[in-house]
Chain A
Amino acid sequence: MTGLLWLVLAAADPCTAPMVPVPRSAREAEIYLKVGDAERDRGDVGAAREAYREALARAPGSVEALGRLQTVCASTPDPFQAGVDALESGHPEDALPLLEASRGRGNDRAVDLLEGISRYQLGEDTRAVPLLDSARADPSLAESASFFLGLIALRRGDADRATRLFDQAGRASGLGDAARQLSRMAQTEGHLVLSAVAEVLYDTNVALRPDGAATTLPGPDGSVGLSLMALVRPWGTPGPYARVEAQLSKQFTLTELDLVGGAGALGFKLLGPTASLTAEYAYGVQAINGRGYLADQRVFVGGSLLTGSFLWGAAYAAHFESYRWSGLGDLSGLRQVLELDAGFLPGGGVRLTGGWAGTWDAAKVDGLSYLEHGPILELLWAHGAFTLGVRGSIAWRRYQAEDPAYGAVRDDTRYAGTTWLDVALGIQWAVRGAVRFLRVDSNIPDLNATEWVFSTSVVWTAAVL
């Protein structure tokens, strides 16, 4: 994307490009000289260089053409072009004063775009957002500006946090990562956004079988998944939105765990240059092996505030869960999740987030109800088309009553880690590779468990309107 932008904004340097011989014509050489003079007087050194070079090609002995070409090539370059060059060569801090000097020539929105990109690269998101918003008002720059605004939103992690809380019900499905990508891609500009994720994964412990469990219980398996999403924002953002999602996961061998799911959501998002607030209601259902398994009504409220290099976030979700299988009815109840975090944006596309997350699951039976809390740490690095992330968390989970099967109150420590690499292939396509790890250490050793999940996925997203 950035490379294409450079192609548009920069051109081959006529001061150094080899001269292509053309038939001599004194008259044409004279016209080129005049055109060069006019462009030089308008401040467009780039066009003047092109013109003088063509004049010299037609009149190789012309002292005038040679002299003027040498003069414009030696002169201080156009600050706009110099800013582009500095940005292209990886020096955004040098580009800033040059771009500032090029303002007031009728192309301030293009300058806004380039300064916004520079600020983004320097990690100054607070200052980048209004500049990119301004550039987005110019139709010819809107696509590039939206792309970088999307990267900033990604770095701010709004969608990440919401998805983490939405999909902690991922204990029932293996589609947590896919949903995270859908949510992220929903940041694409547009009134109607469609997304699809196709995923292949291998899970070493599909049903989180305890280490010492009988091998007849479900163990490792692979699966393919497909997630579809449509997001409607009639008035854009800020404003209300509606979202529908569908999920399908087909196991390679453990077909009794095949999953089909769907959800619909209504929400409202407020978005300013430094803050955002989202409120959403959603209803989702899941069926496993063709039988209705879980109905989940959820309410979500979350927001973020950017102050300097720090991003402060808070999110809360309440899941009203109803398990439909007769043997699982006791798991039904209210599950509430709260996450507070702070992100540090040191620049260079890096975001380091630390926080605390807690869950209070009030099931019908005390022995299945628990309180869980613990730290989370995430490191994200976005550079060009690549986003690399590592996230780890520790959660101390204590159940509220004795487990009659073991004669003790269960007390677990859950270690979770995820690392992923996203590669954007243009605006509409992306691929991702991810590895997820979960280790449960319980005071009841028979319940200790380990799970590794390796996945790769292809994401397509498009703003239809």
Chain B
Amino acid sequence: MSCHAPLVLALLIAAEPATPASEPHLIAGAEAFRAEAYAKALVEFRVAEALGSAEAGWYSAAALLKLGRAEDAVEAFVLAERNTRSAGDALLEVYRGQACYAARLYLCADRWFESASSRAGPRLAPQLASLRSAIQEALRNEPIPSAIDRLLARATELSAHRPALGSACADEALALSARTSDHHRQAEASAMASRLAPASPRGRR
């Protein structure tokens, strides 16, 4: 062995990519989530986010759902999507659907359950079908125009301080208005949804 070998090895080790600082917090959050200690899981995922983990945003949203903070979860899912585009995981899409459902954003919930269905296994698929049928039932029971009114009022209320959540409400109102024969407040919903949507990269330039 050459006398230079230890030096080369040390240089190679040094050149190995370092473990991201966020990773121990992601792992701690996942362990807490598994143990159903959702407040602790949320804190660890938030710290991982602050240390640069993009995927931690999805897990924070799931923890918020488990803490019963449905609207906060919807908001966190929207923000996570804006950062990383896709969850890439059927279970996270189910969580997102559940958050939308609990926040009474039924079409949002249906969209995510439908998306998850395409990749769901034989155990999950029937449950998702049952959830989607519950959504249809809920939609039948709530008059659509009054739901649109409620959602637009909420979107307006949220637009200044929590635009991501407001955007989810406006999108829901817009989707619902398309289901009414008179396109109830569709123009307002469309304008609100556009206003609260994230600026596109072209727009930023």
A35 to chain B: which residues have CB within 8 Å?
43, 46-47, 50
CB-based contact A139/B98 at 8 Å: yes
| Interface check B111, CB cutoff 8 A | no
The docked-state distance in angstroms from the alpha carbon of A107 to that of B65 is: 9
Residue contact A44 to B39, C-beta cutoff 8 Å: yes
- Nearest Cβ in chain B — how far from A451, in angstroms? 47
Instruction: Determine the chain B residues whose CB is within 8 A of the CB of A9 once the complex forms.
Output: 68
* Interface contact A32-B43, CB-CB below 8 Å: yes
Do A39 and B102 have beta carbons less than 8 Å apart?
A: no
Minimum C-beta distance from B181 to chain A (A): 26
Q: Mask for A252-287, Cβ within 8 A of B = 1, else 0?
A: 000000000000000000000000000000000000
- 1/0 contact trace for A31-53 toward B, CB 8 Å? 11011101100101011011100
Q: How large is the interface on A (under 10, 10 to 19, 20 to 34, 35 or more residues)?
A: 20 to 34
Proximity bits, B119-157, A CB within 8 Å = 1, else 0: 000000001001100100010000000000000000000
B59 at the interface (CB under 8 A from A): no
Chain A's closest residue to B95 (CB) is A140
Residue B185 at the chain A interface, CB threshold 8 Å: no
In the assembled complex, the CB of A407 is this many whole angstroms from the nearest CB of chain B, namely 67
Complex formed: what's the CA distance from A80 to B65 in Å? 15
Q: How far is the CA of A7 from the CA of B70 in the complex (A)?
A: 19
CB-CB under 8 A from A64, the residues of chain B are: none
Specify which chain A residues have a CB less than 8 angstroms from the CB of B47 in the assembled complex: 28, 31-32, 35, 54
B72 on the A face (CB < 8 A):
yes
A8 within 8 A of B: yes
Give the contacts of A62-95 with B (CB-CB under 8 A).
80
Cβ-based interface call for B110 (8 A): no
**Alpha-carbon separation in the docked complex, A36 to B42 (Å):** 11
Which residues does chain B contribute within 8 Å of A14, judged by CB atoms? 39-40
Residues of B within 8 A of A42 (CB): 69, 72
B67 touches A47 (CB 8 A): yes
Given that A11-B40, A31-B51 are known contacts, is A139 also in contact with B46, CB under 8 Å in the complex?
Answer: no
Contact residues, B97-126 vs A (CB, 8 A): 98, 101-103
Interface size class of B (residues with CB under 8 A): 20 to 34
A38-B46, A106-B103, A107-B70 as given contacts; A50 in contact with B51, CB under 8 Å? no
Is B38 an interface residue when CB atoms closer than 8 A count as contact? yes
Kindly state the separation between the CA atoms of A173 and B43 in the bound complex, as whole angstroms. Answer: 62
Is B36 an interface residue when CB atoms closer than 8 A count as contact? yes
Q: What residues on A are CB-neighbors of B67 within 8 Å?
A: 44, 46-47
Complex contacts, A105 vs chain B, CB 8 Å: 69, 71
Flag whether A138 is at the interface (Cβ < 8 A): yes
Q: Mark B48-82, 1 if CB is under 8 A from A, else 0.
A: 00110000000000000111111110000000000
Count how many pairs of residues, one from A and one from B, have CB atoms less than 8 Å apart in the complex.
79
Q: Are A137 and B43 in contact (CB under 8 A)?
A: no
Q: A47 with B39: in contact, given A106-B69, A110-B68 (CB under 8 Å)?
A: yes
B70 near A31 (CB under 8 angstroms)?
no
Q: Which of A8, A34, A50, A107 contacts B69 (CB 8 A)?
A: A107
**Which residues of the partner chain A approach B69 to less than 8 Å between Cβ atoms?**
42, 44, 105-107
A97 CB to nearest B CB, Å = 18
How far apart are the CA atoms of A9 and B66 in the complex, in Å?
9
Query: Which residues from A are CB-within-8-Å of B138?
Result: 137
Quick check: is A12 within 8 A (CB to CB) of the other chain?
yes
Rounded to whole angstroms, the CA-CA distance of A28 and B68 in the bound complex is 27
> Are A31 and B40 in touch, CB under 8 angstroms?
no
B37→A139 contact, CB < 8 A: no
Q: Within 8 Å CB of B68, what residues of A?
A: 9, 80, 107, 110
Distance in Å: Cβ of B114 to nearest Cβ of chain A: 15
Binary CB contact string for chain A from 93 to 131 against chain B (1 if under 8 A, 0 otherwise): 000000000000111011000000000000000000000
B49 to A: closest C-beta gap in Å: 9
Whether B38 contacts A106 by the Cβ 8 Å rule is no
Q: Which residue of A lies closest to B45 (CB)?
A: A35
- Nearest first, the 8 A-B pairs at minimum CB distance are A106-B71, A107-B68, A110-B68, A35-B46, A106-B70, A47-B39, A46-B39, A51-B43
> Would you list 29 pairs from A and B whose C-beta atoms are within 8 A, ordered by A residue?
A8-B36, A11-B40, A12-B37, A28-B47, A31-B47, A32-B43, A35-B43, A35-B50, A42-B72, A44-B69, A47-B39, A49-B39, A50-B40, A50-B43, A54-B43, A80-B68, A105-B69, A106-B69, A106-B70, A106-B71, A106-B72, A107-B69, A137-B134, A138-B101, A138-B102, A139-B101, A139-B130, A139-B134, A140-B102
